[in-house]
Structure 1
């Protein structure tokens, strides 16, 4: 009967497996030596990350549990749990998964070679049945390898999440100024950045370009811009980057960021190390606030110092504006806007009526007439440097402070 023949075949397979497993358990030290030697000979990662003692002990235990599983019912087998434990351990040690999978392939070779050698020497009459056991032996080791791979990936993801949390915390400490020299040293190591060096900070008001930060969530992440390295971090209302300038310049930074910035941005002055990033971040935010918000704009603080003074002291700037431009601002909207635009053009053109007229599309005499009216309304003269400073600061306040 076919069923009886199949049962007979299964009995032969179980008989060969029991004989082979029992004898291989007696040769565990020899098999462990062979497997450890093969793995370490061809894998620098194992040699560097796993000590010989630990490697041998885990190999001997893994072989013992795996071979014993052949003799046990499924509910008592421990090989898959051991595979999970060992995979977690190797992930925590930083061993590449390719190395772990290569170890399982070599383990299958050593185990199968042990079966073949034993049956050939001691039970040659069972060689036919041995061939039929191959599927069972290799399938068992494949299950262990698949279980180990799945566990390794899961543990690696957990460790990566913890690593990102630490990097995020270190970067936040630097940007908030809540760390000390030890934090700077730890951040330098975690971010692979020099503790001392030329740095700047750039902030970009949200919504911004479809950046890597938005795709990656809140995690800090690196980016390169020429020879400069940027580490981005998402904040509540803006995106911020620590920029390791190296030999780069602020001009190169602004030029490289201009095509991808779609809102207001601020760039700090150059600072000399990671411990100064909190100050640089505040200055970059201040520079960003000097943008009127009418379109994409990158403001360098060193080019916006008067405007930065205005936004840094809004109450005082409002009082200055009321004192200087109060009468002008009380005019009807069309008249007021014409005079403000003329004063702005006059200042941008360094007092050249002809150039200002070109910007305003009017005659130069019209510019003169409007400027004289500004002088009458404000009580300031564009020929006195002190008055020009007051007019310029008040004009910046009108542009930047919505309540003015």
Structure 2
């Protein structure tokens, strides 16, 4: 059984509690005087609210001195309520703690003065000090715990709001310019581009493909907003200058564990949905190298190849259908040779140097392409059809 409280401490507590309203007013004035934040932000914590919390703190501490159970079992709901209120008001926790320290000092000085008036012995005053500190500590812990819990809920709520806004922009549900600007402001994105959309494959539902990517980009002053979908982690990223895209790709490559697609840059958030489609296609298309991160280049030929997938796939099959009976490796050799020939300006010698074969090998492979497609590399129209067909082959799964 806990010991009964010291009668002199009970007398002291009762004397203080009898003046609780007046003392709470005095405590609030001291806090306004000694904590600059409370002096200059009365709109966040007005006089009535500050008086209420000061009185609650005082009543809790001095009630605990008279309770048989001690402060550790006292009702801390008043402390928790204050913590929630300060978090909702946006008062920094450091400022709340500063106010509590000032309030504790005020209560201690008030206790000493009251003890002298009641002629309480020094021994009892020392015991009072210990119990007041214990009660104050319990009250403060309850307040800070509730504050942090409320702040966490607020952050989760804001993150859900941000995520919903990202999805609305990606799906084209926000088309009005002013509303887009408002959404960009909430997402901490500039209202004008260039932007890119990043789409990363995820290892499973509810898991991110690019862990902590927003924080990693923030450290490089790259603003972004993200949404986790069942199959993808999708982000809208602002490119503050031309070199930012190279920085972005470096960060994505270091973070990626699966395929990541990046759209071409765009300036208007109203076309974000189209950019997402390009980012998805960059993932779905055949990779041009061993990199996990693939950028959709946005060239007219690439855009044309994916503009109408069903039509383009039919065109691609009509032109390249003669490749179907070839082994996959042999088919890929012809595809790579044609691409190298294009990149080399139609020069067999430069193509040979590029892919490390003899020029006659290049010519032989190009002749096989002509045979199997029925197109001539000497006729511009045929070359155009081959370029589009090979682009479709590369871009569409």
Matches within 5 A, 1:187-266: 187-206=183-202, 214-215=210-211, 223-224=217-218, 226-249=220-243, 251-253=245-247, 256-257=250-251, 259-260=253-254, 261=256, 263-266=258-261
Give the number of the structure whose residues are more often helix, by fraction: 1
Change over 3 Å in CA distance of 1:222–1:195 after alignment to 2: farther
Q: Supply the distance in 1 between the matched residues of 2:146 and 2:196 (Cα, whole angstroms).
A: 41
In the alignment, is the contact (CA less than 8 A) between 2:27 and 2:106 conserved in 1?
A: yes
1:20 is the counterpart of 2:20: no
Of residues 133-142 and 295-304 in structure 1, the stretch that sits farther from structure 2 once superposed is: 295-304
Matches within 5 A, 1:308-323: 308-323=303-318
Change over 3 Å in CA distance of 1:333–1:137 after alignment to 2: closer
Q: Supply the distance in 1 between the matched residues of 2:128 and 2:333 (Cα, whole angstroms).
A: 95
Q: Secondary structure at the match of 1:236?
A: coil
TM-score by length of 2: 0.82
Give the CA deviation at 1:168: 1.2
Q: Supply the distance in 1 between the matched residues of 2:334 and 2:268 (Cα, whole angstroms).
A: 46
Tell me the equivalent position of 2:138: 143
In the alignment, is the contact (CA less than 8 A) between 1:328 and 1:377 conserved in 2?
A: yes
Of residues 265-274 and 90-99 in structure 1, the stretch that sits farther from structure 2 once superposed is: 265-274
Of 83, 90, 93 in structure 2, the residue corresponding to residue 87 of structure 1 is: 83
Q: Which runs of 5+ in 1 are unaligned?
A: 1-6
Change over 3 Å in CA distance of 1:325–1:285 after alignment to 2: closer
Q: Supply the distance in 1 between the matched residues of 2:77 and 2:390 (Cα, whole angstroms).
A: 73
Matches within 5 A, 1:276-355: 276-292=271-287, 295-296=290-291, 298-330=293-325, 339-355=334-350
Q: Supply the distance in 2 between the matched residues of 1:322 and 1:119 (Cα, whole angstroms).
A: 96
Of 26, 29, 40 in structure 2, the residue corresponding to residue 34 of structure 1 is: 26
Give the CA deviation at 1:195: 2.8
Q: Supply the distance in 1 between the matched residues of 2:365 and 2:209 (Cα, whole angstroms).
A: 49
Give the CA deviation at 1:376: 3.6
Change over 3 Å in CA distance of 1:143–1:192 after alignment to 2: same
Change over 3 Å in CA distance of 1:21–1:203 after alignment to 2: same
Give the CA deviation at 1:340: 4.3
In the alignment, is the contact (CA less than 8 A) between 2:226 and 2:234 conserved in 1?
A: yes
Q: Which runs of 5+ in 2 are unaligned?
A: none
Instruction: Tell me which structure has the larger Cα radius of gyration.
Output: 1
Matches within 5 A, 1:47-196: 47=39, 48=41, 49-74=44-69, 79-123=75-119, 126-181=121-176, 183-196=179-192
In the alignment, is the contact (CA less than 8 A) between 1:290 and 1:299 conserved in 2?
A: no
Q: Supply the distance in 1 between the matched residues of 2:263 and 2:128 (Cα, whole angstroms).
A: 71
Give the CA deviation at 1:117: 0.9
Give the CA deviation at 1:36: 1.4
Give the CA deviation at 1:147: 1.8
Q: Supply the distance in 1 between the matched residues of 2:113 and 2:332 (Cα, whole angstroms).
A: 98
Give the CA deviation at 1:55: 0.7
TM-score by length of 1: 0.81
Q: Supply the distance in 2 between the matched residues of 1:379 and 1:19 (Cα, whole angstroms).
A: 107
Change over 3 Å in CA distance of 1:393–1:135 after alignment to 2: same
Aligned residues: 388
Q: Supply the distance in 2 between the matched residues of 1:179 and 1:330 (Cα, whole angstroms).
A: 48
